[in-house]
Amino acid sequence: MGSRTTDATRRAPFFLFSLSDSHLMGDLLLTNPDGFMQKLMAKSAWFSQEMAQQLDAIDPIHYTAKMFNVGELVPFAGHSLGPVFQPVLNRIQRTADLQSRLHEGHFPDSHPDGQESGHWFDCDRYQPALAAAKKLLGFADESEFIFTASGLSQNLGMLMDTFFRSTKRDWDTGKTKIVMLDTEFFSDQAEAISVLRRAIQQADDFEYFREREKPIPESQIIKIKPDDKGLFNTEDIIRIIRDHAKEVKMICLSDIVFSTGQRLELNKIFSAVGDVIRENCIIVGLDLAHTVGNRAIDLKSLPVTFAVGCAYKHLSGFPGSGFGFYVNRNADLTRYPPLQGWKAANSSQVFATIKHYDSSIMAQTGAVAFRASNPAPVALIPAQVFLTYFNNIGFDKCFNKSECLTRYLLAQLKYHLGDKLELITPEDPMQRGAMIVFRIKGLSSVEEIEDFLKEGRSELGNYEVDVRAPNIRMTAHYAYSTFEQICRMVNKLTLVVNNLLRQEEGHALAVSK
């Protein structure tokens, strides 16, 4: 299909949904993406700006878009950093106001939300947000998750280091490997190298390598290779884990791959290798940086020991905002003891033993056993407020709307860019989330696309996308993106792409002469 001009969009016939159609489409938006797109694509003017405006008008949760601090630059890069959620600022102000009464905020009866857990002393156990996280992540018991002020990489490194405990027998048998994706985010790879370097140094301190060659950390990572688009094959992942099972100490994977938007088929993978994971006592960790707030996951159905996430992407937290981490309640913490501080103690008993240590009141299972110091309430507010608010709406509704927006974005990209478009992200909803990654065929420098979309005088508006050459990443978010914004953004993108391609063709022609 060839590209379309914006004139075609402007000349589209104006269409008004009937009252019954409006109610049906509004319901389908939150419950049935397949049905929503089927009915939408049956309309001859589905791609028009007028239609986009009507879709926004019938959206039952359209009001959430007005709750974000979005300026003139419309965000389509929430997979990297989302706009500020205004209720977060309101909660921070309430917390600051409470601090005028000094220590009073540490006690339940003074908390703005009442006497349930969530006051300063136990703000990482704030019940409404904890219930929302449980719904989103699918863990079995509330003890398996804590909110943290520390960031994703810090949590990932701490948990990898805790559970990567190589014994002399492990070194003797070569069971010292970590399985990772070859294109995993730099920070994840850096944490793995750090953990391995520490393990090698510890073995060296015990003179294990006195008569053996000391390995370099990089040699202990088994990397799963992608195809030429950066996509990973499920069968390859299964085969590599099975083939190397006796060497593997830990598997550390992303659920959604940051560079391509691909969602690994974790259920299929772990169903196929569950036996070798159990037989070989392999630790499994997940990086959920691009999953949290994007799509739900059911951790209790997976053989996962630990998982980490962040709040500054799909949860619209501040740059670097922490989220929290998960530790399976069945993880053997006597074999893998966590670093603990006083917060790992029972909150109702710790003050009675404040001058001495009492091991009997310390948590022994799950993520709560890893509590150490008081987290700053303000640091937890972005994740907790967002989770609580949208859990009250219903994450099932939010993710259905997200899928409708994503499919609409895909349809607009295909309609306007046609054969210029090379999709990287799989179209199958089971193999992706909301982020769409694509390339423009024949365009040598995609960085200019990002610049032109952000700036320039245009009645179509200015937009932030995210270029990681040669890929372009963009996300339509259920909380703040609208159908009209998608329509206008893709129209501007089409103008930019066509202009850049013409410039390159002209330059090539001039050079050939």
Separation in Å, CA 464 to CA 7, 70, 243, 311: 23, 11, 43, 19
Tokens of 25: 């489409």
The residues with which 286 forms a beta bridge, in sequence order, are 253, 307
Neighbours of 109 (CB within 10 A): 8
Same fold, 6-84+394-512 and 101-392: no
- Whether 395 and 170 have beta carbons less than 8 Å apart is answered as no
Determine the average pLDDT of the residues in 310-330. 96
Confidence band of 100 (pLDDT split at 50, 70, 90): confident
Q: What is the pTM of this model?
A: 0.92
Q: What is the CATH number of domain 101-392?
A: 3.40.640.10
> Which tens digits make up the pLDDT trace of 448-492?
999 899 986 668 899 999 999 999 999 999 999 999 999 999 999
Helix (H) or strand (E) holding 285: strand 283-287
> Which tens digits make up the pLDDT trace of 140-179?
999 999 999 999 999 999 999 999 999 999 999 999 999 9
> Which tens digits make up the pLDDT trace of 245-257?
999 999 999 999 9
456: region left, alpha or beta (phi > 0 left; psi from -120 to 50 alpha): left
The 8-class DSSP code of residue 473 comes to E
At the topology level, CATH places domain 6-84+394-512 in Aspartate Aminotransferase, domain 1 (3.90.1150)
- SS3 readout for 415-457: HHHHHHEEECCCCCHHHECCEEEEEECCCCCCHHHHHHHHCCC
User: In 32-166, which ranges are continuous DSSP H helix?
Assistant: 33-41, 49-58, 86-99, 127-137, 152-163
Longest dimension (CA), the chain: 87
Helix (H) or strand (E) holding 10: helix 6-10
Confidence band of 116 (pLDDT split at 50, 70, 90): low
CA-to-CA distance for 61 and 398, rounded, in angstroms?
9
Determine the average pLDDT of the residues in 285-307. 98
Tokens of 314: 């799909």
- Whether 366 and 330 have beta carbons less than 8 Å apart is answered as no
DSSP string, 130-155: HHHHHHHH--SSGGGEEE-SS-HHHH
363 contacts: CB under 8 Å, gap ≥ 6? 143, 340, 344, 345, 346, 369, 371
* Residue 385 backbone dihedrals phi, psi, to 5 degrees: -70, -45
Domain-wise residue ranges, the chain: 6-84+394-512, 101-392
Confidence band of 510 (pLDDT split at 50, 70, 90): low
> Which tens digits make up the pLDDT trace of 350-392?
888 989 999 999 999 999 999 999 989 999 999 999 999 999 9
